[in-house]
Amino acid sequence: MKILGISAFYHDSAAAIIEDGIITAAAQEERFSRKKHDMGFPSSAIKFCLQETGSSLGTLDAVVFYDKPLLKFERLLETYYAFAPFGLKSFIKAIPVWVKEKMFLKKMIHDSLMEIEIYNKKNLTLLFPEHHLSHAASAFYPSPFEDSAILTIDGVGEWATASVCHGKGKDIKILQELRFPHSVGLLYSAFTYFLGFRVNSGEYKLMGLAPYGKHGSKEVSKYEEIIKKELVTIYDDGSIWLNQKYFDYATGLRMVHDKKWEKLFGFPIRSSESRLEQKHCDLGLAIQNVTEEIVIKLAYNAKKLTGSDYLCLAGGVALNCVANGKIVDEGIFKDIFIQPAAGDAGGAPGAALAAYHIYFERERIINKSVSDRMNGAFLGPEFSDHDVEIIVKKYDAKYAQMPDAELYPYVANLLANGNIIGWIQGKMEFGPRALGGRSILGDPRNAEMQKKLNLNIKYRESFRPFAPSVLAEDCSDYFELDSASPYMLLVKRVNSNRLKPLPEGYENFKLKEKLYYLRSDMPAITHIDFSARIQTVHRETNPKYWKLINAFKEKTGYAVVVNTSFNVRGEPIVCTPEDGFRCFMRTEMDYLVVNNFVFAKNDQKEWQEKDNWKEEFILD
C-alpha cells in the first residue's frame, strides 16, 4: 500500500510517501524551489517522492492532506464573530482568500496534482485528518514504542494548540486538547516578534538568545512575574489562558499590541537589525523559562493521563530542544522520541501514517532492531558521481577524487588545520536540521570557529551557537547525556571536567566579551550557559559521517565536530551538488566535499556573485 502525504499553504510545505507503513521518501518544497519556508503546493517534493518510490498518482491508494480546512475556516469565522467589531481589517484581508481558494481546497489539490500527472480523480481517495492527529501520528508511528503518551504543541491547527494523546499499537486516542486562542506556540512567537525576529522562523534565534540573560537576576525574575501576572495564567496540568487584550494574532495583522507591550516591559519593540541589549536577553530568558515550565507541566499531565513510560513529541514547540532537555532531566518517562521534522513539514508523513493505520486499519509492526523508523531522517534526494561531473563541466571546477580510505583522513586533517568544509553526502535530511548529509563542518577546539562560521560563512547573528556532532559511543565523554540524540533535538551541558573556570566579575562582562570567552576545551560548540545542542552520530544510519568523525578522533583525540546546516542566512539548506557548489563559492568556505570529490577554494576561478553582507552589529 502506497500513500502520499501532503502539508501545504501555511509554511514549510512538504510531501512524503509511505509504503506499507514505512516512510520511504520525504522532502520539503523549499529545498527544490529555493524559497525558505515555502508554503506553496509541494509539486517538486511530490515529484521526487513519486520518482524515488517508482510510483504514479494513479497507483497510489490515497492522498492525504495534513489538516481539515473546513474546520479551520470554522475557527476563523467563530473567532472573528467573538472579537467583533475588532478585526475588521484582518477579516477583509483573510476571508476573500478563504472563499476563493481554501474553501475549495479539494479542487485545488486535484488541479495541482493534475499538473504533475494525469490521473482518474474518481479512483484516488483524498483524505483530511485533523492537524494535531497528523502531528501525533508523525511521532508515534515511527517511534520504537508499543505504548506511548503523545504530546503535540504548536501555534494552532484547526482549533487545537496542544494535545495529549495515547498511542497503543496501531491506535491513537486523543485525551485532551488546549484550544485557540490560548497557545504556548503563539505565546513564544509573540516574544519572537517583540524581540525583533521573524515569526515562524526566528523562534530558533530566541531560544539561542535566552542563555545570554542573567540567570537568577532581579531583571529576569521581574519579567517572569510580569508575564505570569499580565499575559498568561498557567494551570497545574500545563493548560494556559492568554490575556487577549495584549495580543493581536486572533483577529489582527500582527502578533501583539505593540504599545501595550512597550508599556508592560518598559522598552519598545526591537527592530530586526538593531543592537541586542541585556534587557532583550533577559526577556528572552524569562519567556524561555516560562515556556519550559508549561511544557514540563504538560509532560507530567501526559504521564498522568496515559500511565505510559514513554513519550512522543511533535509540533513546532517540540523543536525547542532546551525544553526537551528539561523534560529528560525531570525523569518523567523512561525514554522519549521527538519527530525530527516536528513542525508542519512533519504533517506530511504523519497524515499518511494516520491514514494507513487508522483509516485503512492496517496493523503496526515495530522493528526492534532499529531505534526508530525515520531512517536517520535521510529521506530526501541523493546524487550520483555523474551529477557532480556535470557541475564540474558547467563551472570548469577543479577537484580531486579519492577513495574512502583516503578521503576521511584527508578531510579530518583539513578540519584539524582550521578549514571549514561543506559536506554533501547521500540522501538529504528531512526536517530543519542538517545531520551530516548537507552540513558545514569545523573543528570544535578552534576558538575562532564560531565567529568565523557566523560572520564569514552563514552571514547571521554572532550570538547564535553551533551544534556538535559526536560519535554516539563517545557521547558521555563530552556531554551530560546518557541517551541517543540522533536528530539534534536535545540540549544538555558539556561535562564539567571540560569547562574552564569563569573569571571574577564575569557576570558584569559585556555581551560580546561573554560571547567569545573560552568556556571549555570545545569553545566552538559550548554555549554561554555551558550547554550544547547535541547530535549523536550512529554508524548504522550515517556510516560516511561516522567514519569522518572517527578519522577526526584518530587525528585529534576528539570524537566531535562542529555541524551547521549547509546554507546562508535567508536561504534553505542546499539540496543538489550545484546548490552546494554555488553556496561554497559565494562564501568563505575553504573546501567542498561531494561524494568523493574534493574542491579546494583556492583552485577555483574567481566567482563573480558574492555575499558581501555581514552582521557585526548584534551584541552590545
Question: What secondary structure does DSSP assign to 74-116, as a single string?
Answer: HHHHHHHHHHTTTTHHHHHHHHHHHHHTGGGHHHHHHHHHHHH
Does residue 612 surpass a pLDDT of 70? no
Element (H, E) at 17: strand 14-19
Query: Which residues in 197-224 are b (16+ Cβ under 10 Å) and which e?
Result: bebbebbbbbbbbbbbbeeeeebbeebb
C-alpha cell at 193: 516578534
Task: Look at residue 18 in the predicted model and tell me its pLDDT.
Answer: 98
For the domain spanning 1-142+342-373, the CATH number is 3.30.420.40
Q: Which amino acid is at 531?
A: S
Residue 337's nearest CA partner among 152, 142, 147 is 142
Task: Look at residue 84 in the predicted model and tell me its pLDDT.
Answer: 62
pLDDT band at 493 (very low <50, low <70, confident <90, very high): very high
Neighbour count for residue 354 (Cβ, 10 Å): 28
Per-residue pLDDT tens digits for 212-264:
999 889 999 999 999 999 999 999 999 999 999 999 887 777 889 999 999 99
User: Span 418-427, mean pLDDT?
Assistant: 98
C-alpha cell at 470: 559526536
pLDDT band at 425 (very low <50, low <70, confident <90, very high): very high
pTM (predicted TM-score): 0.93
User: Span 195-204, mean pLDDT?
Assistant: 91
User: Span 342-360, mean pLDDT?
Assistant: 97
Which residues in the chain are classed under CATH 3.30.420.40? 1-142+342-373, 145-338
C-alpha cell at 532: 550544547
Which residues in the chain are classed under CATH 3.90.870.20? 385-603
Does residue 91 surpass a pLDDT of 80? no
Does residue 521 surpass a pLDDT of 60? yes
User: Span 574-580, mean pLDDT?
Assistant: 98
C-alpha cell at 227: 508575564
User: Span 445-455, mean pLDDT?
Assistant: 88
Q: Which amino acid is at 27?
A: A
What DSSP character marks residue 364?
P
* Number of DSSP helices (H) and strands (E) in the chain, helices first: 19, 21
Q: Rounded to an integer, what distance in angstroms lies between the CA atom of residue 475 and that of residue 232?
A: 38
Element (H, E) at 449: helix 449-452
Q: Rounded to an integer, what distance in angstroms lies between the CA atom of residue 169 and that of residue 214?
A: 46
Q: What are phi and psi of 409, to 5 degrees?
A: -65, -35
Q: What is the architecture of the domain spanning 385-603?
A: Alpha-Beta Complex (3.90)
Task: Look at residue 100 in the predicted model and tell me its pLDDT.
Answer: 62
User: Cis ω on the peptide bond leading into residue 486 (within 30° of 0)?
Assistant: no
Does residue 559 surpass a pLDDT of 70? yes
- Burial, 414: exposed, middle or buried (Cβ in 10 Å; 0-12, 13-18, 19+)? buried
> Is CATH 3.30.420.40 correct for 145-338?
yes
